[in-house]
Structure 1
Amino acid sequence: MRRNRCLQKALFLLAAGCITLTASAQDKKSAPPAGTVPPATPQAPPKPGPKPYKDVITDKAITRKGLFNVHKVDDKWLIEIGDSTLNRDILVVNRISKAPIDTRAGFTGFAGDEINENVIRFEKGPNNKIFIRNISYSVYAKDSTKPMYKSVEVNNIQPIAAAFDVKAYTPGNDGSVIDITDFIAGDNDLFFFAPSIKSALRLGGVQPDKSYTLDIRTYPINTEIKTVKTYSKSPAPSPIPGMMPAGPGGNATFELNTSLVILPKVPMKPRYYDDRVAYFTTEYTDFDADPQGVKDISVVTRWRLEPKPEDVEKMKRGELVEPIKPIIFYIDPTTPSKWVPYLIQGVNDWQKAFEKAGFKNAIMAKTAPSKDQDSSWSLEDARYSAIVYKPSTIPNAMGPHVHDPRSGEIIESHINWYHNVMRLLRNWYLIQASPSDPKARKANFDDETMGQLIRFVSSHEVGHTLGLPHNMGSSAATPVEKLRDKAWVEANGHTPSIMDYARFNYVAQPEDNIGPAGIYPRIGDYDNWSIEWGYKPIFDKTEEEEKAILNEWVKARYNNPALRFIHQDGTDPRAQTECLGDNNMKANEYGIKNLKWMMPKLQGWLNEKGEDYTTLKEVYDEIVGTFQRYIGHSVTYIGGVYTDSKTTDQPGNVYTVVPKTLQKEAMAFISKQVLETPTWLLEKNILDKTTSPTSDRISSLQDNVLGGLIQNGRLQRLISAANRESNTYKPEEYMDDVKKAVFTELATRKAIDNYRRNLQKAYVERVGALLAPAPAPSGGSGFMIMMGGGGNSKNSDIPSLLKGTLRSLKAEIVAAIPAYSDRMTKYHLQDLNERIDRILNPKN
């Protein structure tokens, strides 16, 4: 065996030697003759990788220094990423700078609109790469000393969204140069439109041959990239297929601005959300907060207001001090000059509120500097907040803000001021304030009146940018009687919060002689308190100690209804839009009295020479809508629930059923005001000029009200309340009251007119719809809005209640038919009888 192995080895060596000899012989045989020059060896391609800095950033470079040093070399854009900037959180805010006017664009697609927002980090990768990671703070473990921190880190890797070759390293080897030309010339979800916004604007792919980079400017904390992008655009669907044309498609060109803003190394100290003093929030899931689970954490969004170090002791002593950096809003230079002072005043009105937090001159508005004053100032520069004027038909204004997701610190805000908001203000003020203010009794207000309305809306929108949401329950703190007390309401205002949708004091009657101070909204007690809670510094305390202090502040003020936040959930009658006072039925009775007072006067007020009746129709439609809203306020009382946010160290309940007396009062109000035909709306002089006889506004209005009264949700709340409490509005008693209000003629055998017949048919159809709801639509990509509560609760008492009500009504109808000689009434009751039969016996 061993000998065979030695033989195999010898044969292998011999073979190898033969191969070597053969190869050598062949080499000699193919060698070139003496004196011949061998061919040149091909040169290896240049080694890829960074070049010397001077070869990349040449003498041709146009350089700007800032957060990122920016170089333009020929048609290339290169930026330096300093090592000190690597792994820092950078907020990317994308806005439209210039836009094509599109009346179908809704609330998006105008200059100044934010279209995307991200947090990114630049980091070094292997092989001379720079990566961009897209950072999310939705899951968080902020304490590196706790055991969950490492687990969250390794299971929450952030995605790499882009990669760049390092073109050169800086001379001090403390930074990297990358070429972003192609990245910003194309389209991506980081620097341009968010997919959802793109879809809303019907934008398709970017067209490179019609897109380009305008400029890149850089500042100490931000870099601004301005590009022109042309997208394909799909046609808008026709509002009425076959009758109205679709919107145009083709191309859409936008000028876009991308702001890269470096966030603080150390985030601002957060203030944790409290339901009882609500703010807008940023949320994350914290794996450290609950040792036996996870906890969703909400921190409020607010500006960083801090006293100067030398003023801290003064503030502790209660002296007012100026912040290190005040909140400043600039007015868009395109704003009509006559409105600028009122917009500025609307911002400055908040200064008094910040004094409650210990700051003076904490917030202010300024006109934008001209190019001669500051050539570097730009509306798109993320260092500046602004009120942006938009030439839009949208009757609205909005106050969004951009914040640091780690702490809630508000970085900047662009308030959207749409031109046509003035039309909305005219209608609101005319309808709600004309009984008290003669200046409101015309189609076009004088500049001072409109200016004061603009000031009010400016203050409201600024409140949103400070972090404050709507407090729709604020107005419920004011007793209705005080709204007619001239001295009281002019001194205190008609609502404690400008963040309510309280609009104007529509309760005041002409004879009350209440002036503008008692008519207009103003920054009130709740606003002052909420700013104090959110912005007053608490020094030298841990997070837990601060929470305890804030809780004591809230508890000390909680029993004052003017200082309470009430969440709008659709079931609490205190928290509704466009309502006033602590009793909506009393307040709205005054409101309806005012509507009746102005109705015959409208045509005289709105008689614009040479104009058609568009304005008269618009205002009349607003009056009908206002009346319906007043009725809706009362409907909410029925099956209503008061919800008062509380902590475990506060006495009393969180949920309280609205007292039976108030629910019955609401039902009586609805019966009187709308179920009895509101003939005052049928002002013939107006209808003959604005509304075709084919339109039946009254019946439509009444049917909508019935949809609110007869719905599963309301009936179920009445049933649930009866299960919990003895002295409440029983569902069977409620349905009897609705039936009696709709069918009052059956008891008196009075002839039933057309409006009442329509109402009674609508009642039967509404009840029938709840017993046999329409099936959900199949197929298609649209959605359905369920009016008046949809669905069916087959396993509850609702079907039994409805069927019992119909049987009782059927018996009353059958008994009444022989007593009627009026033909249409008899036909109507026979029809109702047959309809009820079909509902109760659908197979017959």
Structure 2
Amino acid sequence: MIKMNFSFRQSVQGGALLLLLALQSSAAKADENKSKSASKPKKETKYDRLFKDKKTETARSKFITVHKLDNKIYLELPRTLLKKQMMLGGTITSTTDPTAVTVGSTSSNPILFYFDIQDSSVVMKTPNNVLFEDNASSPDLNEALSLNYRDGIWQGFNIMAYNNDSSAVVFDVTALLGKPTNLIPVMPTKNGNYSVKATPKSELSFIRGIKSFDTNLSVNNDFTYGVSTSLMSMPIGGERPTTVGVSYSLALVPESAMRPRIMDSRIGVDFSVRLGMPKEGASTKRIFFSHRWNLVPKDKKAYTKGKPTMPVNAIRFYLDDNFPESWKQPIREGILEWNKAFEKIGFKNSIEVVDFPQKQGFDPDNIQYSCIRYIPSGASSAPTSDLYVNPNTGEIMSASMFIYSDVEKLLHKWRLIETGAVDPSVRGNRLSAQHFAQGLKMLVTKETGKMLGLLKNLGASATYSTDSLRNARFTTTMGLAPSVMDDVHYNYVAQPSDKGVSLASSGLGMYDYFTINWNYRYFDTDKVSINEETNTLEAFVDKNIINPRLRFYAERNARWDPRVQAEALGNNMIASAELANKNYSIVESNLSKWIKNDEDTRIKDKLYLQIAQNRYTLFKQVLSNVGGMYLNNMKISSKIPQYQVVSKELQKRSLLWCLQQAANFTKYANRKFERKGFLSVSYYDQSLEFIAYDLLAARNRVAVTSYLDPNSYTQKEYFDDLYNGVFKSVAQLRAPSQGERILQRAFMNYAQSAVSKATGNGAAAGGSAGGAALKNDDQGATPGFGDPSQNLAPTVDITLADNSELYFYDSLLKLRTALEKCLKANLPLEARTHYEMMLFKVNKTMEVKK
């Protein structure tokens, strides 16, 4: 046994020795191979060659890596993000011409898309806007949907390379993010009353910087355009080079847990639209989701019992450090004003305003942060905002506001012109700190409403009587309008004799509280179905909008509804205009006295110009009564008609007022002031052409409204009043005023064109406003009440309603006789020449071709 044990031990020792020698040999060979491998150059990949020996700027994050080289942009997209929905939007961040472009503006909504790989390309696809019902998922239906609702391809990009572990694909997106693109237009087509045409100069496009964050990225560019402006098709100057800074933001759309809120078209909240698949036997329906932040109470039990509770996630806005210190408090107050509305529905401290964090990692360009930004700019513009909304649910993901450094000039102009006749404290070159803070808070409150999803409510002020706006008790209690979302600046109808009247808006109105209640009231999704929620909210609206001050007057109805007019105050347009013009005359005549140290008149000239523009705005507001109809988005059971044509008496009175204003518009001009200043052409003179166009364009609206209501102001009555007003000087055998001459020439041009068209003697009439009301189509009926995208005006075929050619022809017959008689009178040479030319045109137009 002992011997055996010894032999066994010898054997084991020998085996271990052999194993050790083998391991040593293997290790030596491994070292030898490693040495050979190290000496052998690593094989260069396509990915390596793409960036080799090139000056490359790279921004890396958990999201998408961005590379910038040779003025090109490359995305390194993780393959895990393929088919994940994203949003892409563009914002103006700077400009060389603030008269054409506003910093902070966006000219299109962000686009929803996803990246996918198809053959050797990365493609951008737009997901179909189809909302599947719970019971609409049968195999047959899904197959039909896949054939009829395919995802569309927007753009394709060649694959440049895969990264070295093939986990990400690299492709050139310069055409999308580094050049001007029609996919995301950033330049406006309108700026106030002016049309803007911007021609991109792609060769003058430069990429300034790139950033990438956990869920989004941004690319900042300088784009150059050739910009030209026109007013009613008339060019204003030539094309001028304009460079704008453009920031493109690309963000991952989160998988929101928020349940969509089905829209009610009677509520003034912005929305997204989806297509709902029907139950068997029903028709396809469009479904609208309201835009709102996802506010959920921390203590749901307390909320249910009506006790105030904090939200799980408050709406947090970060305040730019660059604001002047005196601005910060009114900005905070303007934003936090909306907490009062949230408190009414059980939420405490729903909105927070905090300073920009000093910690590393905070970047205001990261769109996951909602920021209030200070924009150094020479443009005296009101604040603007930019929202990112998840279109799948309507959830507002982030929102930022842009406040411009020259906003004080805008507030000073409004406050002085609109209240200077009443309030001596605003007469001067600048507003006091108190008045500026009050105005800034007003603007910020209004813009915050937009960031909460609310739309403009331009008809709100029309629910207050003009007389009430001169009453101290009423204005102190009710403000100037029942909604801060109306386009109201200051109380321009209050007169110097009115004591104690409020001259500025003073916070939220009853409409604002009502709308926040509808959009943000919390429903426990575990206990209340989406149908129950929709029905409850619909009943809430039914009960409350019996009160006209709680109604939403949609901006899209402004063409027809005279209540929906920007900057209007009160329910009596003529009375408001008369009162405002009295105040403007007081201010205009005192500009030289109130504005000091302005030897080059640059301050006074702008104020004078604004007064003239305000007077023209008043003219258009009154003219909106002519051919107007009140559009009411109400249920049939309310017994309030969907539309109601403005009374004949008010239409006639409004047209006669406008004709009187047009004929004598230049009486408002202060020629002495104009001669002292540096104005090249008086705006009062410039406005006459536009006034003439507006008066004649009203014929189309009257055609529609008289067709809808034969007992209303007819087109014949309109033409009779128009003719008598325009050619009053002819009937009175006297020389025409400057305004009358322009009105007469405009009438003659339209009449020539219309009659020539009817008789086959010339081209089609110019300047037609189209006239036909938008179609009222119930094909898009939605769950919830109404279609929030729909114009309420009924359908009218303008070719059946419009008899302009007949009335123009009849007018020319009368005018020929009147001119022949007038030319026998003793007239100044200039007047005689004008009338002789008119008679020549009449005879030429009435000439019958052989």
TM-score, normalization by structure 1: 0.77
Name the CA distance, whole Å, in 1 between partners of 2:561 and 2:104.
38
**Aligned equivalent of 1:386:** 371
**Aligned equivalent of 1:730:** 714
The answer to whether the aligner puts 1:810 opposite 2:816 as a matched pair is: yes
Cα offset, 1:656, TM superposition: 0.8
Cα offset, 1:695, TM superposition: 4.3
**Aligned equivalent of 2:29:** none
Cα offset, 1:469, TM superposition: 1.3
**Aligned equivalent of 1:399:** 385
Name the CA distance, whole Å, in 2 between partners of 1:242 and 1:721.
35
**Aligned equivalent of 2:428:** 442
After the TM superposition, which residues 90-169 of structure 1 pair with which residues of structure 2 at under 5 Å, given as runs?
A: 90-91=86-87, 101-103=95-97, 106-107=100-101, 117-119=110-112, 134-141=125-132, 143=134, 145-147=136-138, 148-153=141-146, 155-158=148-151, 159=153
Cα offset, 1:430, TM superposition: 1.4
Name the CA distance, whole Å, in 1 between partners of 2:106 and 2:839.
57
After the TM superposition, which residues 422-441 of structure 1 pair with which residues of structure 2 at under 5 Å, given as runs?
A: 422-441=408-427
| 343, 346, 350: which one aligns with 1:362 | 350
Larger mean CA deviation between 438-447 and 505-514 belongs to: 438-447
Unaligned 5+ segments in structure 2 are 1-39, 48-57, 188-197, 759-764, 773-797
Name the CA distance, whole Å, in 2 between partners of 1:789 and 1:473.
24
% identity of equivalent residues = 22
Cα offset, 1:480, TM superposition: 1.0
The answer to whether the aligner puts 1:523 opposite 2:508 as a matched pair is: yes
Cα offset, 1:651, TM superposition: 2.1
- Give CA deviations for 1:329-364 in whole Å, capped at 9, x if unaligned: 112223333222222211111111222332121113
The answer to whether the aligner puts 1:247 opposite 2:241 as a matched pair is: yes
- Give CA deviations for 1:348-390 in whole Å, capped at 9, x if unaligned: 11111222332121113222123xxx22211022221012222
**Aligned equivalent of 1:584:** 573
Larger mean CA deviation between 715-724 and 559-568 belongs to: 715-724
Question: How has the CA–CA distance of structure 1 residues 785 and 558 changed in structure 2, closer, same or farther, with 3 Å as cutoff?
Answer: farther
Q: SS of 2:626's equivalent?
A: coil
| 651, 656, 660: which one aligns with 2:639 | 651
Larger mean CA deviation between 488-497 and 151-160 belongs to: 151-160
Alpha-carbon contact 1:187-1:206 (below 8 Å) kept: no
| 672, 684, 689: which one aligns with 1:685 | 672
**Aligned equivalent of 1:661:** 649
Name the CA distance, whole Å, in 1 between partners of 2:82 and 2:241.
46
Alpha-carbon contact 1:699-1:759 (below 8 Å) kept: no
Q: Which amino acid letter does the alignment assign opposite residue 808 of structure 2? A: L
Cα offset, 1:259, TM superposition: 5.0
By relative contact order (CA 8 Å, sep 6+), the higher-ranking structure is 2
Name the CA distance, whole Å, in 1 between partners of 2:822 and 2:520.
68
Alpha-carbon contact 1:639-1:715 (below 8 Å) kept: yes
Alpha-carbon contact 2:489-2:567 (below 8 Å) kept: yes
Q: SS of 1:710's equivalent?
A: helix
**Aligned equivalent of 2:278:** 288
Name the CA distance, whole Å, in 2 between partners of 1:737 and 1:255.
51
**Aligned equivalent of 1:489:** 475
Name the CA distance, whole Å, in 1 between partners of 2:528 and 2:235.
64
Cα offset, 1:722, TM superposition: 3.5
Question: How has the CA–CA distance of structure 1 residues 188 and 153 changed in structure 2, closer, same or farther, with 3 Å as cutoff?
Answer: farther
Cα offset, 1:486, TM superposition: 0.7
Name the CA distance, whole Å, in 1 between partners of 2:387 and 2:817.
61
Unaligned 5+ segments in structure 1 are 1-43, 52-61, 170-175, 775-783
Larger mean CA deviation between 197-206 and 378-387 belongs to: 197-206
After the TM superposition, which residues 785-804 of structure 1 pair with which residues of structure 2 at under 5 Å, given as runs?
A: 786=767, 796-804=802-810
- Cα RMSD over matched residues? 4.3
Name the CA distance, whole Å, in 2 between partners of 1:241 and 1:470.
31
Question: How has the CA–CA distance of structure 1 residues 290 and 107 changed in structure 2, closer, same or farther, with 3 Å as cutoff?
Answer: farther
Name the CA distance, whole Å, in 2 between partners of 1:105 and 1:825.
39
Name the CA distance, whole Å, in 2 between partners of 1:489 and 1:377.
44
| Count of residue correspondences | 743
Larger mean CA deviation between 540-549 and 683-692 belongs to: 683-692
**Aligned equivalent of 1:5:** none
**Aligned equivalent of 1:416:** 402
Cα offset, 1:643, TM superposition: 0.5
Name the CA distance, whole Å, in 2 between partners of 1:843 and 1:623.
49
Cα offset, 1:797, TM superposition: 1.9
Q: Which amino acid letter does the alignment assign opposite residue 657 of structure 2? A: F
The answer to whether the aligner puts 1:593 opposite 2:582 as a matched pair is: yes
TM-score, normalization by structure 2: 0.77
The answer to whether the aligner puts 1:268 opposite 2:252 as a matched pair is: no
Cα offset, 1:120, TM superposition: 5.3
Name the CA distance, whole Å, in 2 between partners of 1:339 and 1:123.
47
Name the CA distance, whole Å, in 2 between partners of 1:814 and 1:438.
55
Alpha-carbon contact 1:385-1:413 (below 8 Å) kept: yes
Cα offset, 1:269, TM superposition: 0.9
Question: How has the CA–CA distance of structure 1 residues 808 and 157 changed in structure 2, closer, same or farther, with 3 Å as cutoff?
Answer: closer
**Aligned equivalent of 2:840:** 834
Name the CA distance, whole Å, in 2 between partners of 1:654 and 1:416.
38
Question: How has the CA–CA distance of structure 1 residues 234 and 613 changed in structure 2, closer, same or farther, with 3 Å as cutoff?
Answer: closer
Cα offset, 1:645, TM superposition: 1.0
After the TM superposition, which residues 680-829 of structure 1 pair with which residues of structure 2 at under 5 Å, given as runs?
A: 680-690=667-677, 695=681, 697-711=683-697, 714-746=698-730, 748-749=732-733, 752-772=736-756, 786=767, 796-820=802-826, 824-829=830-835
Q: SS of 1:401's equivalent?
A: strand
Alpha-carbon contact 1:68-1:79 (below 8 Å) kept: yes
Q: Which amino acid letter does the alignment assign opposite residue 573 of structure 2? A: N
Alpha-carbon contact 1:121-1:133 (below 8 Å) kept: yes
- Give CA deviations for 1:493-533 in whole Å, capped at 9, x if unaligned: 01111111122111111111345x44236321111111111
Cα offset, 1:489, TM superposition: 0.5
Cα offset, 1:291, TM superposition: 4.5
Name the CA distance, whole Å, in 2 between partners of 1:825 and 1:130.
72
Q: Which amino acid letter does the alignment assign opposite residue 798 of structure 1? A: S
The answer to whether the aligner puts 1:571 opposite 2:574 as a matched pair is: no
Name the CA distance, whole Å, in 2 between partners of 1:205 and 1:825.
54
Cα offset, 1:113, TM superposition: 7.0
Name the CA distance, whole Å, in 1 between partners of 2:348 and 2:507.
19
Name the CA distance, whole Å, in 1 between partners of 2:834 and 2:163.
86
Q: SS of 1:818's equivalent?
A: coil
Cα offset, 1:477, TM superposition: 0.5
Q: SS of 1:765's equivalent?
A: helix
**Aligned equivalent of 1:451:** 437
Question: How has the CA–CA distance of structure 1 residues 317 and 803 changed in structure 2, closer, same or farther, with 3 Å as cutoff?
Answer: same
Alpha-carbon contact 1:285-1:296 (below 8 Å) kept: yes
**Aligned equivalent of 1:54:** none
Q: SS of 1:413's equivalent?
A: strand
Alpha-carbon contact 1:395-1:423 (below 8 Å) kept: yes
Q: Which amino acid letter does the alignment assign opposite residue 809 of structure 2? A: K
Name the CA distance, whole Å, in 2 between partners of 1:114 and 1:748.
51
- Give CA deviations for 1:62-94 in whole Å, capped at 9, x if unaligned: 99985689999xxx99989596x7755444566
- Give CA deviations for 1:213-263 in whole Å, capped at 9, x if unaligned: 766443xxx2x54667677x56667999998784278xx9x7967554450
Name the CA distance, whole Å, in 1 between partners of 2:334 and 2:587.
30
Name the CA distance, whole Å, in 1 between partners of 2:666 and 2:75.
73
Name the CA distance, whole Å, in 1 between partners of 2:725 and 2:220.
63
Name the CA distance, whole Å, in 1 between partners of 2:688 and 2:280.
52
Question: How has the CA–CA distance of structure 1 residues 648 and 546 changed in structure 2, closer, same or farther, with 3 Å as cutoff?
Answer: farther
The answer to whether the aligner puts 1:301 opposite 2:291 as a matched pair is: yes
Name the CA distance, whole Å, in 2 between partners of 1:261 and 1:598.
53
Name the CA distance, whole Å, in 2 between partners of 1:414 and 1:642.
35
- Give CA deviations for 1:427-469 in whole Å, capped at 9, x if unaligned: 2221112123223212222232222211111111111111111
Q: SS of 1:806's equivalent?
A: helix
Question: How has the CA–CA distance of structure 1 residues 290 and 586 changed in structure 2, closer, same or farther, with 3 Å as cutoff?
Answer: farther
Question: How has the CA–CA distance of structure 1 residues 685 and 165 changed in structure 2, closer, same or farther, with 3 Å as cutoff?
Answer: closer
Question: How has the CA–CA distance of structure 1 residues 498 and 405 changed in structure 2, closer, same or farther, with 3 Å as cutoff?
Answer: same
**Aligned equivalent of 1:549:** 536
